[in-house]
Structure 1
Amino acid sequence: MIHRLLLAVSAALLAGCGTAPDTPDTETQTAAADGRLTIYTGGTIYTGLDTPETVEAVTVDAAGRIVGTAPPLSQDWSEDEVRIISLDGAVMYPGFVDGHAHLLGIGQRELSLDLTGTASVADLVSRVEAEADTVPADAIIAGRGWIETGWPEERMPSAADLDAAVGDRIVILGRSDGHALVASSAALEAAGIDETTPDPAGGKIERDETGRATGILIDNAMSPVWALLAEPSEDDIRRAYIEGAKVYVSRGWTGVHNMSVPPEHAEILADLDAEGLMPLRLWNAYDKSGAGIAAEHAFETDTITNRAVKLYMDGALGSRGALLMEPYSDRPDTSGLSLLEPEGLKAQMRNADKAGYQLAIHAIGDLANHRIIEAFDAGGYTEAKRWRIEHTQILDPADIQRIADLGLIASMQPSHAIGDLKFAPARLGMERLDGAYAWQDLLDAGAVIVGGSDAPVEVGSPLIEYYAAVVRKDLEGLSGKGWHPEQAISRTSALELFTSAAAYASFMETDLGTIEAGKIADFTVFDRDLLTVAEENILDAKPVMTVVQGEIVWQQAD
């Protein structure tokens, strides 16, 4: 349940209706419960349909359902029957949904040391030194968000870098992709990691020429170091979710496909919703220990769906954990990490099939993706499962048509391409880029693609994701060799990634994804037309209003 708070905007009402108040009052706050209709009009409204593509207005009932999209605006409505919300020339779309994000991590990023945008090893050290001055001397310094791509040092940070800055303090800094970290020597020692520690299954301890750990830990090797941090309290978890949701509705997202949720958070999220503190619509994919919740649809509300389990096949490309068919071009001693072997994957698929929950399977490397395709095909599963490959980044071109034919859903994050392609040529070589971030080829094959951000790995902006999908250039408008501009998609296709495709991938296409009678009123409003504005101006757009189930959950301040 979302507590209803309709913020009236200045608008000329229809004949005989007077003028709407500029600020909320008691009447406005309780309006949704009084049975009146709400009409959004006064701007461009994209339906997400072929016909009509746009409408003049959309009418929503008190239950948050769309009544129609072409009310008789000449009718002499009374204040007892209708309330008008003016778009003031802005542009409304079906609600934008982030098809892959980590809401807890988004909130934690807002509340902790955020290393996003760190420009060099030296900059990272400087930020750590500044943080050390603000916390007690015995406190662990922890943060996340660095990525070494483009750093002048042309390397990852090391324990030695951190030691030089803060001595024997415990420092743990996660890479932006969440699949690697750098730890200080004190952190390594506290975690029991030294030159004699073997690499764990599905993980790697990076070492120097003498065999000593450098401080870089990849995937499953990170666990002992992260374990040094105290488990967050329930209040910490609540704060992070609340903060993450606030940020997301302010950016124009109406929903999130929320990945890798710990099962113990299911009740917390339901409680937040009941308290009116979770304005987003959530589709949750739980850790595999939460399979029971997904199978039973436990702790669901009218805006929270619990039906999926998240699995991991491999790591990330940047930290060379993505599982490849052939060795890395810039590190021929490794082909990445297998976090789930084929027989284990088949067993997980059988479990999901029997229990009836959805699978969302992380796969970045071409071999990881291929193993999912092979297991799905061998099991005789069909598109009715709507099982998803999360990321689907690097594909053997021969597997692209198979994804479409089998009915696997490609859950992809456009911003990964405009960031990863700065280092992907080095990791993969030019030839393997033919199957990398292949959005248009997948669409041409008939596959369903869901668009997401993978925040907090990326910023988590619908505008950046939309821009990346249609422009396929970095945020400065640049591209380079291997970027494959032919894989950019149309404006309409990009809109579908975040609206109708997201609805389909969550089994909600009868309720969400387009603006038409009978569907739930989830709307995103921006100040300009993303389908026609010059590509260099897409990133200049600003959110104006976010509506979830007929309620204005965020609105731009005057």
Structure 2
Amino acid sequence: MTSPSTLYRGGHLYCPGDPLATALLVRDDRIVWIGADADAPVADQVVDLAGALVTPAFVDAHVHATDTGLALSGLDLSSTRSAAEVSAALAAFAASLPGDAVVLGHGWDESNWVDQRPPDAAELDRAAGGRRVYLSQASIHSALCSSALLAAAPEVVSAPGYDGSGWLRRDAHHVVRALAFGSVTREQRVAAQRVALARAASLGIAAVHECGGPEISDEVDFTGVLALSGDGGPEVYGYWGELSGAARARELGAVGAGGDLFADGALGSRTAHLSSAYLDGAEGGCGHGYVSVEQVRDHLLDCARHGMQGGFHAIGDAAIGTVLAGFGEAARSLGVDRLRAARHRVEHAEIMSKRLIAGFVEYGIVASMQPAFDRLWGGTERMYAQRLGVARSLDSNPMGAMHGVGVTLAFGSDSPVTPLDPWGSVRAAMAHFNPAQRMSARAAFAAHTRGGWRAVFRDDEGVLAPGAPATFAVWSAPAGVERGLPVLVASDVELRGPDDPTPLPVCRRTVLRGQVIYEALA
């Protein structure tokens, strides 16, 4: 008995193998035919695309589903522009909560404020009516905490990164984060995860890479997200970030022992490990490295013993240098070819050099990058310039240079650090503050689709072709279509950049292996 088929016709298809195609036929989980409307075979169901654009669906290669869902449904501080605005938003949100609640918020970014002093613990106490408060900075590598929360974790006072103001970094931040998120019930976690995955599907994202680990989530949270994979929403591929934890990663259902395995912190919190000192901040210094060359080596050897992909979170050039030195040590035992075959990953790779890029090429490292970082914090005046100086800011996030020498790129959001916004990320890669780092629409789109699939060893995915998985998205493209992809940047070069007025495509339907996981309301 032949399975029911669905014909999508009357649209524009991003199909380089057949650029004139206007229709495709889906049966079960596969695309079985592509061509012109006039040549379309008979189907059991017909979907009139009415001129809409069909492309492969997106993959977001770095997300935190629970944090994203909590940010989407809870206290979002990303639009605040002062300590007073943070306190006001906190007071309004906390007023409806029980007195013993832990108030979770996310997204404040003092680098955008005129007065960059955040509220201290006493101010949070007053705004929240004495409740325990945890407000993560945009980078998620530091947080503001109320006195009530600090009092609940007395050991935090002796942890590296503690500050009496309530702005905690490093180990101290890990302590209060675990305490704060321990207050979230299983039901709340599942609800938040479903909210995040539903938002992803509504944006044409059919798969996400969940980055967990003992310092960013916990095993219950991680396995809970994985259990939702493909359950009416996007597929979830998990990375568990624990040193020499390949066996445990496999037991948890992860595809890799990496993701947020921290080689350093973040630029926003001044904990990314740099070879040259930060230019702002009273503490100065070069940030913090969290792993040694030997630990990197041993982790890669452990991954090889268990047949697992590995990886590290590494942002600063000193941290990336440590990771690459560890690769070099591992190559002495495994050989370069075996390292390359494993497709190990580095998350973020923001501060690079030609020497470091060459290391990515040599060892076949996948660069999981977030173009929105440059859009939000790059250029000559924003956070990178404040922290690093203009020259280092413009050299940051060198995705164009990396693509140009063959580094495999897998684009994502690091949500909720930046929002789920795949077309916005493609545009950000096209409009990098440094013209030398800009990518073409096709290259950036490939990094956000095929690149994400390649990073999890699904090399046949991310294309519209007969025999390929039927995983795609249908779009309204208000600015038009050019060479098979939507127009994303203004024709006037003076308007291009982070505030480009060109309207982005709107998702009408997302299909994962033949199943509709999102349908826009008519």
When the two structures are superposed, what TM-score results if normalisation uses the length of structure 1? 0.82
Match of 2:150 in 1: 188
- TM-aligned CA deviation for residue 264 of structure 1: 3.2
Deviation at 1:157, TM superposition (A): 3.0
Tell me the equivalent position of 2:235: 281
Deviation per CA, 1:244-300, whole angstroms, max 9, x where unpaired?
A: 111111111111111116433565346545xx744101211123286335436x65x
Secondary structure of 1:68's partner?
Answer: strand
Query: Shift in Å at residue 193 of structure 1?
Result: 6.1
Helix, strand or coil at the partner of 1:69: strand
Give the deviation of 1:537 after TM superposition: 5.2
The amino acid across from 1:368 in the alignment is A
Give secondary structure in 1 for the equivalent of 2:55. Answer: strand
Correspondence for 2:302: 351
Aligned to 2:494: none
Deviation per residue, 1:368-416 (Å, 9 max, x gap): 1111122112321432111111001011332122212321111100001
Summarize the Cα distance change of 1:271–1:361 in structure 2 as closer, same or farther, 3 Å threshold: closer
The structure-2 alpha-carbon separation of the partners of 1:270 and 1:485, relative to structure 1 and needing over 3 Å to count, comes to closer
Residues 292 and 429 (structure 1 numbering): CA distance in 2 closer, same or farther, change over 3 Å?
A: same
Q: Per the alignment, do residues 66 and 183 of structure 1 end up closer, same or farther by CA in structure 2, a change over 3 Å counting?
A: same
For residue 256 of structure 1, give the secondary structure of its aligned residue in structure 2. strand
Give 1:72-83 correspondences, 5 Å limit: 73-74=38-39, 77=42, 81-83=43-45
Task: Report SS of the residue matched to 1:55.
Answer: coil
1:128 is aligned to 2:77: no
Match of 2:204 among 252, 257, 269: 252
Q: Which moved more, 1:428-437 or 1:92-101?
A: 428-437
Alpha-carbon distance between aligned partners in 2 of 1:269 and 1:169, rounded to the nearest angstrom: 29
From the superposition, tell whether residues 377 and 147 of structure 1 become closer, same or farther in structure 2 (CA, over 3 Å). same
What amino acid is aligned across from residue 138 of structure 1 in structure 2?
A: D
Counterpart amino acid of 2:317? Answer: D
Residue 241 of structure 1 corresponds to which residue in structure 2? 193
Counterpart mapping for 1:439-518 below 5 A: 439-472=399-432, 483-510=433-460, 512-518=461-467
Change over 3 Å in CA distance of 1:35–1:334 after alignment to 2: same
2:398: which partner in 1?
438
Residue 373 of structure 1, aligned match among 324, 331, 342: 324
Whether the aligned pair in 2 keeps the contact of 1:329 and 1:426 (CA below 8 Å) is yes
Q: Given the superposition, is the C-alpha separation of residues 433 and 358 from structure 1 closer, same or farther in structure 2, using an over 3 Å criterion?
A: same
Shift in alpha-carbon separation, 1:266–1:431, aligned structure 2, 3 A: closer
| Alignment match of 2:80 (pick from 118, 121, 126) | 118
CA-CA distance at 1:540 after TM superposition: 3.4
Whole-angstrom CA distance in 1 between matches of 2:385 and 2:198: 37
The yes-or-no answer on 1:264 pairing with 2:220 is: yes
Contact 2:60 2:412 in 1 (8 A): yes
1:419 aligns to what?
A: 376
Shift of 1:165: 2.9
The amino acid across from 1:352 in the alignment is C
Task: Give the letter for the 1:317 counterpart.
Answer: L
- Note closer, same or farther for the CA distance 1:82–1:161 as it changes in structure 2 (3 Å cut): same
Equivalent-residue separation in structure 1 for 2:241 and 2:324 (angstroms): 21
**Number of corresponding residues:** 490
Deviation at 1:155, TM superposition (A): 2.5
* Matched letter for residue 328 of structure 2: D
Q: What is residue 497 of structure 2 aligned with on the other side?
A: none
Amino acid at match of 1:248: A
Q: Which moved more, 1:284-293 or 1:312-321?
A: 284-293
Output the amino acid matched with 2:176.
V
Aligned residue number for residue 36 of structure 1: 4
Give the Cα–Cα distance (whole angstroms) in 2 for the partners of residues 108 and 277 of structure 1: 20
Contact between 1:59 and 1:71, CA under 8 Å: does it hold in 2? no
- Structure 1 portions without partners, runs of 5+: 1-32, 207-212, 300-304, 473-482
CA deviation digits over 1:346-384, x for unaligned, max 9? 111111111111113101101111111221123214321
Q: Give 4+ residue runs of structure 1 displaced > 6 Å after superposition.
A: none
Which letter maps to 1:517? P
State whether structure 2 residue 472 is matched by structure 1 residue 523: yes
Which amino acid in structure 2 is aligned with residue 393 of structure 1?
Answer: E
Is it true that 1:393 corresponds to 2:350 in the alignment?
Answer: yes
Instruction: Decide whether the 8 Å contact of 2:74 with 2:105 is kept in 1.
Output: yes
1:379 match: secondary structure: helix
Pairing of 1:110-189 with structure 2 (within 5 A): 110-166=72-128, 168-189=130-151
Relative to structure 1, the CA distance from residue 489 to residue 144 in structure 2 (aligned partners, 3 Å threshold; closer, same or farther) is: same
Query: Does 2:300 match 1:340?
Result: no
- After superposition, the Cα gap between the structure-2 partners of 1:103 and 1:538, relative to the gap in structure 1 and judged at 3 Å, is farther
Structure 1 residue 68 corresponds to structure 2 residue 33: yes
Q: Structure 2 counterpart of 1:312, which letter?
A: F
> Structure 1 residue 205: deviation in Å?
2.0
Identify the residue that residue 55 of structure 1 maps to in structure 2.
Answer: 21
Residue 56 (structure 1) shift: 2.0
The CA deviation at 1:513 is 1.3
Letter in 1 for 2:414: D
Number of the residue aligned with 1:108: 70
Alpha-carbon distance in structure 2 between the residues aligned to 1:228 and 1:270: 23
Correspondent of 2:508 among 516, 539, 544: 544
In structure 1, distance between residues paired with 2:367 and 2:304: 19
CA distance in 1, matches of 2:476, 2:128: 46
Please say if residues 59 and 66 of structure 1, whose CA atoms lie closer than 8 Å, have aligned partners that are also in contact.
Answer: yes
Query: What residue number does 2:184 align with?
Result: 232
Q: 1:270 to 1:423 in 2, by over 3 A?
A: closer
Query: Equivalent residue for 2:246?
Result: 291
d(CA) in 1 for partners of 2:295, 2:301: 10
| Equivalent of residue 60 in structure 2, options 98, 114, 123 | 98
Where do 1:315-326 residues align within 5 Å?
Answer: 315-326=265-276
Once residues 293 and 41 of structure 1 are traced to their aligned partners in structure 2, the CA distance between those partners, rounded to angstroms, is 47
What letter is aligned with 1:513?
Answer: G
User: 2: distance between equivalents of 1:534 and 1:184?
Assistant: 43
- Structure 2: which 5+ runs fail to align? 491-499
Aligned counterparts of 1:500 and 1:241: Cα–Cα separation in 2: 24
Q: Distance in 1 between matches of 2:37 and 2:120?
A: 66
Q: Deviations for 1:315-354, whole angstroms, at most 9, x for unmatched residues?
A: 1101101000121122473211122222222111111111
1:171 Cα deviation (Å)?
Answer: 1.8
- 1:263 partner amino acid: E
Give the direction of change, closer, same or farther, for the CA distance of 1:432–1:384 in structure 2 (3 Å limit): same
Could you state the TM-score of these two structures normalised by the residue count of structure 2?
Answer: 0.88
